[in-house]
Amino acid sequence: MLRPDNGQRNELANALRALAMDAVQQANSGHPGAPMGMAEMAVALWTRHLRHNPADPQWWDRDRFVLSNGHASMLLYALLHLTGYDLPIEQLQRFRQRGSLTPGHPEVDHTPGVETTTGPLGQGLTNAVGMALAEKLLADEFNRPGHTVVDHRTWVFLGDGCLMEGISQEAISLAGVWKLAKLTALYDDNGISIDGAVPSWFADDTAGRFAACGWNVVGPVDGHDVAALDEALREARASSDRPTLVICRTTIGKGSPARAGTAKSHGEPLGKEEIAATRAALGWPAAPFEVPADIAAAWNARAAGADAQGAWRAGWEAYRSAFPAEAAELERRMSGQLPRDFEGDLQGWIAEAQLKADTVASRKASQKSIARLAPALPELLGGSADLTGSNLTDWPGCGAVRGGESGGRHINYGVREFGMAAIMNGIALHGGFIPFGGTFMTFSDYSRNAIRMAALMNRRVIHVLTHDSIGLGEDGPTHQPVEHAASLRLIPNLDVWRPCDEAETLVAWGSAVTQPRRPSALLLSRQNLPAQTRTPEQTAAIWRGGYVLSDRPQPRAAILATGSEVGLAMAAQALLDARGLPVRVVSMPSTSVFDRQERAWRDAVLPRDLPSVAVEAGVSKLWASYGCTAVLGIDRYGESAPGPELMKAFGFTPEHLAELVAGEVGSEPQIERSSN
């Protein structure tokens, strides 16, 4: 069946080209240029190096393939279809149509074989760094002499756009430090981006840049020469201590007589005439969406995949016999299931924290939570963007993951918030870990799109965002989040928590680790916060996201507070008590979670006919959606000054809040209604 290599390889590549240009044409939308340009790169990798089994995309020791230039999605769909994944040709014919398995950009969990959702440039590469790190850490932890059950590679295709994005620097710098030798990036060096020929805006010596970051650089090689690419990938696999960049010189839209090498091939269909011309130039006779049987057979990787996985499984069974506990633990870890005892332990810790009632900053409460969770959850993998001592993300005995050290569980990401977030996404996508990472809350701006991507991809990633208001004090407005809590709450599928004390912080952590399909952001104070008193029912109600923390008979108003302002609300309640105005205090650590409660719960906590005032040291606009008619918030930037002084200057005092509530009730408090 196999023809001589050269002819065969060209036809294998041309099958990808044809499917890509035909699908884009049929959709009348999409990007033909990159798939056509990367076709031989794909042939070399997918037919000679990639270790995978199309029949079992969940085989966890498979190689990972990441298409960082996600607009080239048709390349990936063509590969998945041809190699035998459950992606029939009808799906390719429905490229970019509603409900198809072939959306405009690859989406993980949506299409079998897609490892991560890509499109926002630079993040795929960074996800891949996270995947490769996860592999390395799992291998270190679970492999035993003679038993290398964790042993796979991570391969990335990327383009000029990924390399222009700054996040790529964060990714390659860390991949170099971590010596991720099993990571290989293939650079589609086609010299064209949307605005045209790149040297006028992208003149980096990319080989020099990667070499400067500790990478093994191979090439440039002819990106249309499968044999040369194959050799380059062999060189990559031979690297024992450095990640490898293979620079592949390609022609965008290769095969199209009129559009090859032009920006015009990038993001629009070639058109029927040009497609016909391309078919002729390639000598590709098959009709649209048809692949000659011999080519299809040559592409099919099901047999090879079954062999590969079978060989691995034999090793796995041997491992399981020799190390049953480790095997069971590794399977648990890769499944994403928490240990059986965990939830019970968690409830105990929460009750204990509630009982002890320590006054601590919520960032400190978070560290205490981590110190409890981490021994119980070996999958917890922490880190910080160079603010470990401020974010308090480390814990006793956590060790470090960094250059030259292994065995640790806390990653020193350096000052790289966006990279950290996208690497965490990669770690979560790989499996085996629950990653969390810290930075100052303001700098969630830097990582925002990666936080969004975790939410879009339904991945359990935890962002520890400390210094959560002007209360941080002297560092001033550049470091003081104002709009950030509200902005993060708007990201669909992200759970945002702003706990007020240690019990709420533990619940926030508990919620974050027990929800496998959702990221969480924990907004934590720099300053100390008093512990609140709760009945067991109230402690349980924290899990509802919003609950009545302190009530009065026949309350005339509610104060809705979060995080560091809950103590303030309690103090205002006391002042109003003295004035004969009974008010309820609602603690709302998570609007995200509260919003998911049944209507009866929400209405019971915040009755529609009860005037309510929100208090949070941040922008005020969101609170109207909870029925609040007044808000004590901050709709401007902060200032540099000691935190307590600022809080006072911005009106965050019990007296001011009490006045506001009294004013909202609309009349002088009626002493006769006071009942306590």
Q: Which residues, numbered 42-71, are part of the site for a copy of itself (CB under 8 A)?
A: 70
Beta bridge partners of 45: none
Residue with smaller CB distance to a copy of itself, 635 or 668: 635
Which ranges of 590-653 would DSSP assign to H, the alpha helix? 591-595, 599-605, 643-649
Give the SS3 label for residue 520. strand
Residue with smaller CB distance to a copy of itself, 97 or 148: 97
Residues 629-668 that bind a copy of itself (CB under 8 A): 635-637, 639-642, 645-646, 649
Residues 462-481 that bind a copy of itself (CB under 8 A): 473-479
Give the SS3 label for residue 650. coil
Examine residue 562 and tell whether it contacts a copy of itself (CB under 8 A). no
Beta bridge partners of 186: 157, 246
- The residue count for binding a copy of itself (CB under 8 A) is 113
Which residue has tokens 């509260």? 594
CB of 199 to a copy of itself, least distance (A): 6
CB of 546 to a copy of itself, least distance (A): 15
CB-neighbour burial class of residue 283 (10 A; exposed 0-12, middle 13-18, buried 19+) = exposed
Binding window for a copy of itself (CB under 8 A); candidates: 59-67, 103-111, 285-293, 333-341? 103-111
Residue with smaller CB distance to a copy of itself, 197 or 277: 197
CA distance 484 to 472: 14
Q: Which x/- pattern, by CB under 8 A, does the window 580-619 give for a copy of itself?
A: ---------------------------------------x
Among 168, 525, 550, 612, binds a copy of itself (CB under 8 A): 168
Q: Which of 165, 417, 504, 565 is catalytic?
A: 417
Q: Is 336 left (phi over 0), alpha (psi -120 to 50) or beta?
A: left
The residue count of the chain comes to 676
* Helix 362-376 with 342-356: angle, nearest 10 deg: 150
Among 625, 667, 675, 676, binds a copy of itself (CB under 8 A): 625
Residue with smaller CB distance to a copy of itself, 148 or 620: 620
* Helix 324-335 with 123-142: angle, nearest 10 deg: 160
CB of 460 to a copy of itself, least distance (A): 17
Residues 192-221 that bind a copy of itself (CB under 8 A): 193-196, 198-209, 211-214
CB of 209 to a copy of itself, least distance (A): 4
CB-neighbour burial class of residue 256 (10 A; exposed 0-12, middle 13-18, buried 19+) = buried
CA distance 302 to 308: 10
Residues 331-360 that bind a copy of itself (CB under 8 A): none
**417 in catalytic set:** yes
Contact 23, 95 (CB under 8 A): yes
- The amino acid sitting at 610 is L
Residues 392-411 that bind a copy of itself (CB under 8 A): 400, 402-405
Residues 363-392 that bind a copy of itself (CB under 8 A): 384, 386-390
Give the SS3 label for residue 264. helix
Pick the closest to residue 671 from 575, 581, 611, 554 (CA basis).
581
Give the SS3 label for residue 412. strand
Among 121, 330, 521, 630, binds a copy of itself (CB under 8 A): 121
DSSP string, 560-604: EE-GGGHHHHHHHHHHHHHTT--EEEEE-S-HHHHHTS-HHHHHH
Binding window for a copy of itself (CB under 8 A); candidates: 129-137, 364-372, 491-499, 502-510? 491-499
CB of 389 to a copy of itself, least distance (A): 7
Examine residue 245 and tell whether it contacts a copy of itself (CB under 8 A). no
Q: Which x/- pattern, by CB under 8 A, does the window 122-161 give for a copy of itself?
A: x-------------------------------------xx
Examine residue 97 and tell whether it contacts a copy of itself (CB under 8 A). yes
CA distance 369 to 352: 11
Tell me which residues are annotated as active site.
417
